[in-house]
Amino acid sequence: MTPAADQTALLARIADALERLAPPARPRPDFDAADAFIWHAAALSLQPVAQVNRVELSLLHGVDLVRDQLLTNTQRFARGLPANNALLWGARGMGKSSLVKAVHAAINGGAGPERRLKLVEIHREDIESLPALMALMRSAPHNFIVFCDDLSFDADDTSYKSLKAVLEGGIEGRPDNVLFYATSNRRHLLPRDMMDNERSTAINPGEAIEEKVSLSDRFGLWLGFHKCSQDEYLEMVFAYCAHFSLQAEPDRVRAEALEWATTRGARSGRTAWQFIQDLAGRLGTKTA
């Protein structure tokens, strides 16, 4: 065997060994497996969700304006028209995450010209892996809503930079077939004491927090959720009663619902739902 042949054989053996050592290629996600998925950053994989935990859009009361705004924005996206990333911020328990899931279901269950949407949930702690998720969706023949619940950042957290780059700032930017929806209790996604501290210690207070506050500016649609009034709270309660056909005296329901809210120190959609669960259980009626 000639030296050249020996060298060729050696290179072939090295190539074979490297191929055996290399991990197998990751399979492409099967986006037709479900309409909703959970992103697992560690495995860079998407887990299909057969049944999403959500309520019907018609059951969300006291948030009519923001409901219509988010629904309209999502309908445009599903029709292939321009649409905005959305930040749903405000009071706890007022249906921010429920609205995102309900709008997704309403779009996919409608009879209009919209295309079916895929809902992908990414956990707050996995935001740094967002570029990898976007890469999987970029070439897919579907439209996606990437959803992050309870999004916020602490003082030492720099993962918000990954989100900024994906939403608008990076070279590739957000794929045309992806929208990002997030819920948060904070309008600017940062704790107030952190912002105040940076203002007080900076040479130029305005520029000190500009980079971090500008993250919120990446969301073209800001939807505020505020604490509900007593009348709005009772409207939610009685809407649930009607939907689930709960047979109870209205005056009794009203009194018990108000007592329920008082003992918890809050009136919200979540409080109304929890009361209905208790009432339905006492009446022996299922709500699922």
| Within-domain flag for 190 | yes
| Within-domain flag for 68 | yes
| Within-domain flag for 138 | yes
| Within-domain flag for 25 | no
| Within-domain flag for 50 | yes
62 and 43 housed in the same domain: yes
Q: Which positions of the chain have pLDDT values less than 50?
A: 194-203, 208
Q: Give the residue from 181, 205, 225 where a domain finishes.
A: 225
| Within-domain flag for 136 | yes
| Within-domain flag for 216 | yes
Q: How far apart are CA 104 and CA 116, in angstroms?
A: 9
70 and 151 housed in the same domain: yes
| pLDDT tens for each residue of 193-252 | 544 444 444 445 555 455 555 677 788 899 999 889 999 999 999 999 999 999 999 999
240 and 115 housed in the same domain: no
235 and 277 housed in the same domain: yes
234 and 221 housed in the same domain: no
Query: What pLDDT, on the 0 to 100 scale, is given for residue 273?
Result: 94
| CATH number of the domain residue 66 falls in | 3.40.50.300
Query: What pLDDT, on the 0 to 100 scale, is given for residue 242?
Result: 94
How many angstroms separate the Cα of 44 from the Cα of each of 31, 41, 198, 252?
A: 14, 5, 36, 52
Query: What pLDDT, on the 0 to 100 scale, is given for residue 202?
Result: 47
CB of 145 closer than 8 Å to CB of 179: yes
Q: Give the residue from 201, 225, 249 where a domain finishes.
A: 225
Query: What pLDDT, on the 0 to 100 scale, is given for residue 205?
Result: 52
Query: What pLDDT, on the 0 to 100 scale, is given for residue 201?
Result: 47
How many structural domains does the chain have? 2
Non-local (6+) Cβ contacts of 53 within 8 A are 101
100 and 170 housed in the same domain: yes
Query: What pLDDT, on the 0 to 100 scale, is given for residue 199?
Result: 47
90 and 181 housed in the same domain: yes
| Within-domain flag for 150 | yes
Structure tokens at 176: 């045309």
210 and 241 housed in the same domain: no
Query: What pLDDT, on the 0 to 100 scale, is given for residue 17?
Result: 64
272 and 170 housed in the same domain: no
72 and 173 housed in the same domain: yes
Give the domain extent around 235.
Answer: 230-283
100 and 238 housed in the same domain: no
Q: Give the residue from 182, 210, 225 where a domain finishes.
A: 225
42 and 154 housed in the same domain: yes
Query: What pLDDT, on the 0 to 100 scale, is given for residue 23?
Result: 52
pTM of the predicted structure, to 2 decimals = 0.81
